[in-house]
Structure 1
Amino acid sequence: MAICATCGNDYDKAFTVSWNGLTETFDSLECAAVRVAPECAACGCRILGHGVETSGIMYCCAHCARQSGHPTMVDRHSVMDA
């Protein structure tokens, strides 16, 4: 069995995740997200999808970025804009 790096649970179905030269063991995706996923600078939620980035700051969505003073941020452009 292995010990989760986030919660300390000793679990027989634990798995490892490697990122940025680190490798840690987790007992659930939730615990892995708490440790690995970036946090939205506006609302604090974990960014599990693409998110948006402006001025080197990560947000979970364009709404949070706009609320934080980046009025032109959009989640995606239409096909016509591409």
Structure 2
Amino acid sequence: MATCEQCGNDYHSPIEIKVNGKTHTYDCFECAIEQLAPRCARCATRVIGHGLEASTGIYCSGHCAKEAGVEARA
């Protein structure tokens, strides 16, 4: 059994995710996302897909980036 880093649940079939050389252990994807996924710099939504990265942060969408003043690249 392994203990989930996010919720502390002991689980017989954990998920292990390696990030920057460190292995993290979770009991489900929900816990992994809560701990590892960045938040949108504008609306704070978890970015779990293709976000938009700018010098001012990571955004969940082009809409949030535009609303935050990020200019589109040509």
TM-score range, shorter chain: 0.7 to 0.9
Question: Post-superposition, which runs of at least 4 consecutive aligned residues in structure 1 deviate over 3 A?
Answer: none
TM superposition score normalised by structure 1: 0.80
Q: How does 1:1-82 map to 2 (within 5 A)?
A: 1-72=1-72
Aligned residues: 74
**d(CA) in 2 for partners of 1:21, 1:56:** 26
Identify unmatched segments of 5+ residues in structure 2: none
Cα RMSD between the aligned structures? 1.7
How far off is 1:45 after superposition? 1.2
User: Larger C-alpha radius of gyration, 1 or 2?
Assistant: 1
TM superposition score normalised by structure 2: 0.88
Percent sequence identity over matched residues? Answer: 45
Identify unmatched segments of 5+ residues in structure 1: 74-82
**d(CA) in 2 for partners of 1:7, 1:25:** 11
